[in-house]
Amino acid sequence: MTHVDQRRRTLCMQLLGGLAGIVIDGPVMARPSVDEAAKVFRLDGEGVTYAFGVNSEGQLQSMYWGSALSSQDRLPAPVPVPENSSNEMPVTITPFEFPGFGGGLTVEPALKVTFPDGVRDLVLRYVSHQLDKDRIVVRMKDASRAVHVTLTYAMDASTGILARSAVVENRTASWIQLDQLAAASINLPYRDDYRLSYLTGRWGGEFALQTRPIEPGSTVIESRKGVTSHQANPWIAISQAGTEEESGPVWFGALGWSGSWRIHVDMDALGGVRATAGYNPFDFAYRLKPGESLASPVFHAGYSADGFGGASRLFHRYQRERILPGAPQPRLRPILYNSWEATTFAVDEAGQVALAEKAASIGVERFVVDDGWFGARNSDKAGLGDWVVNRQKFPNGLAPLIKRVNALGMEFGLWVEPEMVNPDSDLYRTHPDWVINFQGRPRSEARNQLVLNLARKDVYEHLLTVLDKLLAEHDIAFLKWDHNRAWSEPGWPEAAPGEQQKLYVAYVENLYKLLAELRRRHPKLEIESCASGGGRVDLGIMALTDQVWTSDNTDPFDRLLIQDGFSHAYAPGIMMAWVTDAPNYLNKRVTSLEYRFLSSMQGSLGIGANLNHWREEDFAAAKRLVAEYKAIRSTVQRGNLYRLVSPQRGAARSSTLSVAQDGKQAVLFAFLHSGGRRNPQPGIQLRGLDPKRNYSLRAISGSATAQTPQVASGAYWMGRGIDVVLEGDFQAAAFVLDGA
């Protein structure tokens, strides 16, 4: 391997598995072990055991993944599944950890390779292993050709969540082409009652929870869009019939990759279930020269015996402690105001100062100027890509506005969309070759813009230079980093012959590298991942950004559904939720300011309403609710989330409870969406409290409780519950329980 290739491989591993304390390079791990005689490897974390081994054919075979086994339990040596018939050979029905396409394999492979002579057969055999204090590394090789695969397994001790990844290295004398590369295949034993849960959506309707039986055949969840996408998210959960919110087994996992991806779930001929997650093989062809290697993304997988609620709480904790910037104690999200809905593109110094003064008066901590501050940007038709201050709107630059915002006690932030360009821009007129395109073919525009080819070294260096200059010359604490269209014509004409399709990987690698370098040069900078809403939310981008924009749909009722789905996979502390105007711009629904606040206070609170239209009583209510949020912020953002009553499937009510890690505070949010026929409203039984601790109850806002004491034990609140009486449509209430 050349020095350059070694450096690139190291960078890939850092970006995909080591930034911000991601578990592959984190300091707190479960200790791995190996039974050398049986060649069985085992990782044990909190409540979980994962085991695999080398069978008699030298294949890496899955053995066990579930509730923790005793340290004294010894697993037998793995044995390939016997041939069922000439149509189901062992290679197709044995649960492999990382199957290569070869030797008769007909199920989904983790790796598929084409050689220059046309051979597409790959049979991977165990070569060696290494146990470190925090990982198991297994090396494999093709049966006859010098294709080497290194698998890394690392389990987080406190959650039992396993991070898996693979590196493929070409040690042959010629090129090889990777047609498919996954991070991992995970296997579950035969059962006939597995159910698959996953998240789908569209713009304005992200994170819709879907559940279906796993039956013979395949379910493919994917993005082909060059970005994570609104349409599907790279998270799955597999449960059994009878598993509920707080009981029953759940296996879950998420892929840390912000480009095109695929998760393939299938049941084989004998009923075995496997999920394979990695780069999307659609239009994928990655050539490796001799000595070169390619790292997969990282697949993060966990198990809970405590239902979907237990699974999501584990995953939230893992993200806070291992993934997010600042882990294991990410900074609490500041309350921000964004001026987009107030001004759209018509920004200027006087108008922004006026909004900043109003925002500061209600307790906002971060003021963000959205689109329109740069270039010839008076609409979405021009200026994108020219990251210089518009001097017609800001004759004195941004410095006076930033100074005033800071004097008001707020941080300053800006909206940017660095990966895009308008054809009507100075950048495009100078560098029309910098966009993703097929030479001589039309260039499809969406939102009047094209996608810059960030895989190119000159594009990367340009973006680093202009953004670094912007940050160095201004006191900017925050960037809202947007990405407003999917890819089209995914070509890279300047690439070497046969290497254009490296675009799918090289683009995302350079995106990660750009974000990491900006953060290194500007350590106090925080970044939000935004992509027309929730179009780029995944564990890869989360390692480099502090929060995510959940959806462009800010209607508070719709957001309850979106936030419920989001919380199955991702931590509420990074979920931005704004209070905007009513009627809502998207669906014209009218809700009270209180309802809008309480919906948003379940995540990281932001305000995007036009403060110029607020009445005196609106400012008073907002100031009170912002102060209330600051008092509960740590519990909401860092606590354990319990989805007490789900809004899924059109339920009339919904309710969540956040419980502080130390159990000393809990926050209950309750919503009535449609009150009719004077239907009785059952009491809400709380969860996760300390049963022996006394808690005092205080209403944040909304209806008072009925027939409920003001002080009672955690056992009482969990057993007897709280009666919350709400009347009418779109009503809400919230309560704080403070433990003595």
Annotated binding-site positions for substrate? 203, 370-371, 447, 480-484, 530, 552
For residue 689, give the DSSP letter: -
Rg of the chain in Å (alpha carbons): 26
Rounded CA separation 164/24 (Å) = 8
Q: What is the number of other CB atoms lying within 10 angstroms of the CB of residue 242?
A: 11
| Cis peptide, bond prior to residue 583, ω within 30 of zero | yes
Rounded CA separation 560/647 (Å) = 7
As to burial, measured by CB atoms within 10 angstroms (0-12 exposed, 13-18 middle, 19+ buried), residue 371 is buried
Q: What are the residues whose beta carbons fall under 8 Å from the beta carbon of 563, sequence distance 6 or more?
A: 207, 550, 572, 575, 577, 599, 602, 603
Bridge partners (DSSP) of residue 287 are 177
Rounded CA separation 13/355 (Å) = 44
Rounded CA separation 540/15 (Å) = 8
For residue 465, give the DSSP letter: H
Assigned token pair, 655:
């309710």
| Cα-based distances in Å from 9 to 19, 167, 295, 437 | 14, 8, 7, 27
Q: What are the residues whose beta carbons fall under 8 Å from the beta carbon of 328, sequence distance 6 or more?
A: 21, 320, 321, 322
Rounded CA separation 672/313 (Å) = 25
Assigned token pair, 74:
């010894």
Catalytic residue among 134, 552, 555, 581: 552
Q: What are the residues whose beta carbons fall under 8 Å from the beta carbon of 121, sequence distance 6 or more?
A: 101, 102, 103
Rounded CA separation 96/624 (Å) = 57
Assigned token pair, 665:
């505070």
The annotation places the binding site at: 203, 370-371, 447, 480-484, 530, 552
Q: What are the residues whose beta carbons fall under 8 Å from the beta carbon of 457, sequence distance 6 or more?
A: none
User: What number of residues does the chain have?
Assistant: 740
Q: What are the residues whose beta carbons fall under 8 Å from the beta carbon of 437, sequence distance 6 or more?
A: 443, 450, 453, 489, 491, 493
CB 357 within 8 A of CB 367: no
Assigned token pair, 178:
């990777």
As to burial, measured by CB atoms within 10 angstroms (0-12 exposed, 13-18 middle, 19+ buried), residue 257 is buried
**What's at 443, amino acid-wise?**
R
Rounded CA separation 491/503 (Å) = 8
Mapped to the 3 state alphabet, what secondary structure does 158-204 carry? CCCCEEEEEEEEECCCCCEEEEEEEEEEEEECCCCCEEEEEEECCCC
Assigned token pair, 543:
């390692």
Catalytic residue among 25, 156, 306, 482: 482
CB 446 within 8 A of CB 190: no
As to burial, measured by CB atoms within 10 angstroms (0-12 exposed, 13-18 middle, 19+ buried), residue 692 is exposed
380 catalytic residue (yes or no): no
Q: Is 520 helix (H, G, I), strand (E, B) or coil?
A: helix
CB 734 within 8 A of CB 598: yes
Q: Is 485 helix (H, G, I), strand (E, B) or coil?
A: coil
Per the listing, tokens 């922004």 go with 352
Q: What are the residues whose beta carbons fall under 8 Å from the beta carbon of 653, sequence distance 6 or more?
A: 645, 670, 671, 672, 673, 681
538 catalytic residue (yes or no): no
Helix (H) / strand (E) containing 490 = none
Task: Give the distance from CA 507 to its chain's centroid.
Answer: 18
CB 343 within 8 A of CB 372: yes
Annotated catalytic residues are 482, 552
